[in-house]
Amino acid sequence: MPSDMYFEDFKPGMKFKGNIGRTVTDADNIWFTLMTNNNNQIHFNADYAQKNFPGEPFKGRMVVNGFLTLATVAGILVERTSTHGFMLGLTNVKFVNPVFAGDTIYAECEVTATRKSESRKGNGIVSIRTWGHNQRGEKLVEFDRDFMVREREAVWQSGSK
């Protein structure tokens, strides 16, 4: 179900969990990695991964591209946070544990700050601390995300102020 959250609904301390999880496949990882021109073979060459990364935590497995993990976590939370807005930026990204094909990614966040936009009347900026974890509850990634979201009665206008 889409979010009915507008700028005035967000308050620091509010917490959200994504409504879905997403199981990542080898095909997801390989396509994403090659589409983004990442040539690190640990993401798309099983033979390379087996020969060069046989120990823990890899065990010879290809690692899911970190940017795919990041995008998946952010995407899972869109319906709870920013359906009436758009992303402004990400900061403080930390990859905590690797993701492998077959892992299911879940996402959560907490609102850390809100403020009215100085340049866009009828809009505000919401800051959230975001984290993703797998089916075993192991944290995978954490980051801060800022997005602009409109107020309930606002309509986007061209130009500023």
The answer to whether 47 and 27 are in contact (CB under 8 A) is no
The answer to whether 129 and 99 are in contact (CB under 8 A) is no
For residue 157, the model assigns a pLDDT of 72
For residue 4, the model assigns a pLDDT of 81
pTM over 0.75: yes
Computed over every residue of the chain, the mean pLDDT equals 94
- CA angle at residue 128 from 124 to 134, to 5 degrees? 145
For residue 44, the model assigns a pLDDT of 96
Kindly indicate the confidence band of residue 154, based on its pLDDT and cuts at 50, 70 and 90: confident
For residue 160, the model assigns a pLDDT of 52
For residue 76, the model assigns a pLDDT of 97
Kindly indicate the confidence band of residue 27, based on its pLDDT and cuts at 50, 70 and 90: very high
Residue 58 CA to residue 61 CA, distance in Å, equals 5
Domains of the chain, CATH where assigned: 7-150 (3.10.129.10)
Q: What is the pLDDT of residues 90-148, one digit of tens each?
A: 999 999 999 999 999 999 999 999 999 999 999 999 999 999 999 999 999 999 999 99
For residue 153, the model assigns a pLDDT of 87
Query: Which residues make beta-bridge pairs with 22?
Result: 105
For residue 106, the model assigns a pLDDT of 98
For residue 158, the model assigns a pLDDT of 67
